[in-house]
Homo-oligomer: A and B are copies of this chain.
């Protein structure tokens, strides 16, 4: 491995980082020159499936952008029960504690498949923002949307019955999937590699309970599922279904 770093010739790894950072909605408010700086400061971090990337409670804060593969955001209780918040795919970012240095991470991150993270050190990222303040509004917007999502989940968990909750969460994942630039495809089918247990952990229910619910939704033609996989064939149909009917 040859080390070739000159001030005016970009590091090839940095070029790759740049590629990834460019695909991240959080950073899209920064001008390209700023992204290039970020890429130079960033560090690529490959990972293998099931590797623990960050533990719940860690204080160190970096901004992580998923470059490849997928990452599970989850938290484990003292008695081993696990709750999963969401699944991030390429283009997504996490590590919101960059904005509140010193706060511990509420949820941990685990590799859901093989892949790679591109990480910008927290301080470097904050400095960069300070030097390109025009990026702030976009940053606030992204953060506020994430808050919006979290609150929606709270609402769903409190107001909807099990099929409603599962449906909503799947729809939500499908929308994120689209938004983070996986597809331009307007309303094509989306498949997730999630086991019944993963879904159970997302909803705070059991494997068996999820099974029953999935069968209901499948009966309505709203989803399909097979070994370790769930697919939403038509997001629009699912959305409509979830809007009608009182759903408890």
**Which residues of A approach B to under 8 Å, CB–CB?**
75, 77-79, 81, 83, 85, 96-97, 99-100, 103, 106-107, 126, 129-130, 133, 136-137, 139-141, 143-148, 150-155, 157-160, 203-204, 246-248
Contacts and interface: CB of A to CB of B under 8 A. Distances in A.
- Main SS of chain A's interface residues? helix
Contact of A143 (B97, B140, B203, B247): B140
12 contacts: A75-B159, A83-B159, A96-B144, A97-B144, A97-B148, A100-B145, A103-B144, A126-B137, A130-B137, A136-B136, A140-B140, A158-B203
Contacts of A126: 137
B140 A78 contact: no
A131 B137 CA distance: 12
B246 A154 contact: no
A147 B81 contact: no
A85 to B, nearest CB: 7
